[in-house]
Amino acid sequence: VQLQASGGGLVQAGGSLSLACAASGTLTKSIMAWFRQAPGKEREFVAAINWIGLTYMTDSVKGRFTISRDNAKNTVSLQMNSLNPEDTAVYYCAAKSSASMRTVPSRDYRDYRFWGQGTLVTVSS
C-alpha cells in the first residue's frame, strides 16, 4: 500500500487548509491517521480514524481540526481551521491494518506501517 498526501501550503494565522491522503490499495478495517513533525521535534500524533469512523484527536487540535475518511475511495482527509504558527510542521498520513473495525487507534507513530511522503504546512503570524 502506498499513501500520497497533498494539500499543504502557506497560510496566515487563523486561516484554514485541507489535507488529503490517497491510498493505492485497500486496507480493510484499517486505521488511518495524521502525524506531524516540526523542525527539531519528534513526530507527534494529530488525529486518527478507524474503519467505522470513530475519530481521535490530540488535545491541541480538538475543535479546530476534523479528520474524515472515505472507505470506498481509500482516502483520508484533515480539515484544519483556526491555524496558528504552532501548527507549522510537515504533516504525514499513515495507515495500519487492524483486526477489528472498532479498534482504538494507536497514537504511537511506530505502530503504523504505511506512510505518505509528508506535506509541509506553514502558518505565518
What's the confidence (pLDDT) of residue 100? 83
Distance CA 47, CA 73 (A): 19
Q: What is the pLDDT of residue 42?
A: 95
All three cell numbers of 120: 509541509
Exposure string of 13-48, with b = 16+ CB inside 10 Å and e = fewer, is eeeebebbbbbeeebeebbbbbbbeeeeeebebbbb
pLDDT value, residue 103: 84
| Cβ 88 vs Cβ 123: under 8 Å | yes
pLDDT one-digit tens code per residue, 55-65: 999 999 999 99
pLDDT tens digits, residue range 73-114?
999 999 999 999 999 999 999 999 888 888 889 999 999 999
Closest CA to 80 of 64, 69, 68: 64
Give the chain's mean pLDDT.
94
Cα separation of 25 and 4, whole Å?
11
